[in-house]
Chains A and B, each alone.
Chain A
Amino acid sequence: MSKTSSFSHYRRFVFVKVAANLRSEAVRNYLSYIWWFLEPLLHMVTYYLVFGLLLRRGTDDFVVFLLAGLIPYLWFSRTISHGMLSIVHGRGLMMQVHLPKIIFPTIVILHDAVKQSVIFTILLAFIVVYGINASPSWLAFPLIVLAEFLFITACCYLVAAIIPFLPDFNFLVTAGLQLLLFCSGVFYDIEMIAPDHRRIFYMNPMANLLQNYREILMYHNWPDWYSMAVISGCSILVICCMWIIIRRLDHIYPRVVL
């Protein structure tokens, strides 16, 4: 039998594991895969009922405005909170066989990305049903999703790498996610912020991403290419650094997660 320990082997392992995880998660419920659609749909309908029909709050498009910000934000916060303890939770496996520890957060990131792709599809359908027509600017949607994916990956690697050494960091990350929810303009329009402060507001990559989601989906504008490129570029840089750092710590993690 041939053996291999190369990159492509571990990549294969990650895909098999992600597929197995998705499957086992789905078959736990009677409606299995249907929940992938049903859960986000129920979520969106709830927001529609509360903000669209009951409160009639803000602008006419407030429900779409809210969802176009909330859904990308939830992807971020979900992946970070699932991924931050991934290396710590991998202790059973890493005490049995040597493997690159970057695998643990990667599995979580891909798992959530697959589920998110369904959620995004439903979001687009919801927006169309709500009465906003698709426009050519929607073509930029996959690019913004990609930028956010890179940003999520970079952040997830970072927190997953730190928490085994500093378990207390866990609480800070949770608090940080809460703060980010309110600082990224999920619930309010950037117009509501004083013009002098907008520059600082946009330094937050999440706020920037959410604004761009809204620009292309609701206002039919092309995204801010420059900031998207900066976010993607910096994320790729962080991902490469974390890849190297975690690789160097591969033999250290089994000692600290004991």
Chain B
Amino acid sequence: MNRVPVITVQNVMVRFRYRRSLFRKAMVEALRDVSFNLYQGDSLGIIGRNGAGKSTLLSLLGGIILPDSGRVINNDVRTSLLAMQVGFDPELSGRANALLSGMLLGFRYEDVKANLDKIIAFSELGEFIDKPVKTYSVGMRGRLGFSVALEMEPDVILIDEVLGVGDINFREKSMNVMKEKLLSDQTIVLVSHSGQIVKNFCNRVVWIEDGISRMEGNSEEVVDAYESYMA
């Protein structure tokens, strides 16, 4: 496997300022000092308890926000954050949403259009695909988002605890596709607080505690350390 990092995170710090009133501002440090490498073909797990800064880290990897200090070096890869129920325009049909999402992942209109049938087939939405997304159930929205991300294959897929999407059949199917992706060259970052999920899907894991990357290594090792720490 090629060991060139696609994204390097170096001593990253992120703090959010928020207004409490006209002149009073407060600050929250979401990440304090996080460093790790993401390699081509990796399936990297990010583990940590709620509020440890995992979701902020995903926004950083996606290039959505920039760190207040430290660096995130992206070696020209296209990332897509797969978080459920956001990003869709509820008034538009599933088909239009799939097309627009594909374009936002950086693919040409024609390419997305050519893949639309595959996306629709994978999502199992049937005739619902032409109905507005606001009529979808949570599970259906998740299926659509998941299908776009999997069929269009961005360089890096960032996943925020969505393995519980859809019903049992769809979950099983996406699990299988995910496992396939893991064996292939698809690069995935998966955020979770569950050691079990991360152990199943990831070859490497970074453990974030209190905004600091505590440990980075192969999944067995890190998850065991995390679980004994939490116990």
When C-beta atoms are compared, the residue in chain A nearest to B17 turns out to be A255
Residues of chain A contacted by B62 (CB below 8 angstroms)? 96-98
The answer to whether A20 touches B108, judged by C-beta atoms less than 8 angstroms apart, is: no
Whether B186 sits at the interface, judged by CB under 8 Å, is no
- Bound together, the chains give a CA A25 to CA B92 distance in angstroms of 9
Partner of B111, one of A1, A20, A23: A1
**A1-B111, A2-B111, A255-B65 given; A16·B87 CB < 8 A:** no
User: Nearest Cβ distance between residue A252 and chain B, in whole angstroms?
Assistant: 8
Q: Is A21 an interface residue when CB atoms closer than 8 A count as contact?
A: yes
A99 interface contact, C-beta 8 A: yes
State in angstroms the CA–CA spacing of A93 and B85 once bound together: 10
How far is A24 from B131 in the complex, measured between Cα atoms in Å?
10
When the two chains form their complex, are residues B108 and A251 in contact, meaning their CB atoms are under 8 A apart? no
Please encode chain B, from 111 to 134, with 1 for each CB lying within 8 Å of some chain A CB and 0 for all others: 100000000000000000000100
**Is the Cβ of B104 less than 8 Å from the Cβ of A24?**
no
Query: Looking across the interface, which residue of chain A has its beta carbon closest to that of B103?
Result: A13
Question: Distance (Å) between the CB of A200 and the closest chain B CB?
Answer: 33
Query: Contact between B106 and A5 (Cβ–Cβ < 8 Å)?
Result: yes
Contact of B106 among A3, A95, A255 (CB under 8 A): A3
Decide if A94 is an interface residue (CB 8 Å cutoff): yes
Interface centre among B63, B89, B106, B108 (most CB of A within 10 A): B106
List the B side residues contacting A93 at CB < 8 Å: 86-87, 104
Min CB distance, B200 to chain A, in Å?
25
Which of B39-47, B75-83, B162-170, B187-195 is the contact stretch?
B75-83
How close is B17's CB to chain A, nearest CB, in angstroms?
8
Q: Which residues on B sit within 8 Å (CB–CB) of A115?
A: none
**Which residues of chain B are near A29, meaning CB under 8 Å?**
none
Partner of A16 from the list B66, B100, B105, B132 (CB cut-off 8 Å) is B100
Report Cα–Cα, A251/B105, bound state, in Å.
17
Which of A4, A9, A93, A255 has the most C-beta atoms of chain B within 10 angstroms of its own C-beta?
A: A255
B107 in the interface, Cβ–Cβ < 8 Å? Answer: yes
Q: How far is the CA of A20 from the CA of B88 in the complex (A)?
A: 13
Known: A20-B96, A96-B87, A251-B65. A12 touches B109 (CB 8 A): yes
Q: How far is the CB of A248 from chain B (nearest CB, A)?
A: 11
User: What residues on A are CB-neighbors of B87 within 8 Å?
Assistant: 92-93, 95-97
* Distance from A111 Cβ to chain B, minimum over Cβ atoms (Å): 12
Complex CA gap A5/B108 in Å reads 9
Q: Does B222 contact A (CB under 8 A)?
A: no
Contact A98 B64 (CB under 8 A): yes
The CA of A98 and the CA of B132, in the complex, are separated in Å by 24
Bound complex: CA of A173 vs CA of B3, how far in Å? Answer: 54
- Give CA–CA (A98, B96) in the complex, Å: 19
Given A2-B111, A9-B106, A254-B59, is A92 in contact with B100 using a C-beta cutoff of 8 Å?
no
**B64: which A residues are within 8 A, CB to CB?**
94-98, 251, 254
Say yes or no for B57: interface residue by CB 8 A criterion.
Answer: no
Closest chain A residue, CB of each to CB of B88: A92
Q: Does A247 contact B (CB under 8 A)?
A: no
Q: Is B93 an interface residue (CB 8 A)?
A: yes
Are A3 and B107 neighbours in the complex by a CB distance under 8 Å?
yes
The answer to whether A21 and B92 touch (CB under 8 A), given A12-B109, A93-B87, A94-B64, is yes
Alpha-carbon gap, A5 to B155, bound state (A): 14
A 54-95 to B, binary, CB cutoff 8 A, 1 in contact else 0: 000000000000000000000000000000000000001111
Instruction: Tell which of B16, B63, B78, B153 touches A255, judged by Cβ atoms closer than 8 Å.
Output: B16
Contact A97 B81 (CB under 8 A): yes
| Option from A9, A98, A99 in Cβ contact (under 8 Å) with B108 | A9
Residue of A nearest to B155 (CB): A3
Q: In the assembly, what is the distance between CA of A24 and CA of B132, in Å? A: 8
Q: For residue B31, give the distance in angstroms from its CB to the closest CB of chain A.
A: 13
Bound: A212/B153 CA distance, A: 53
Task: State the Cβ distance, A59 to closest chain B Cβ, in Å.
Answer: 43
Can you report 15 residue pairs joining A to B where beta carbons are below 8 Å apart? A1-B107, A3-B106, A4-B106, A5-B78, A13-B104, A16-B100, A92-B88, A93-B86, A93-B87, A94-B64, A96-B82, A96-B86, A97-B79, A254-B59, A258-B16
Q: Besides A16-B99, A96-B87, 6 other CB < 8 A contacts?
A: A5-B106, A12-B103, A95-B59, A96-B80, A96-B83, A97-B64
| B contacts, CB < 8 Å to A | 16, 59, 62-66, 78-83, 86-89, 91-93, 96, 99-100, 103-109, 111, 132, 153
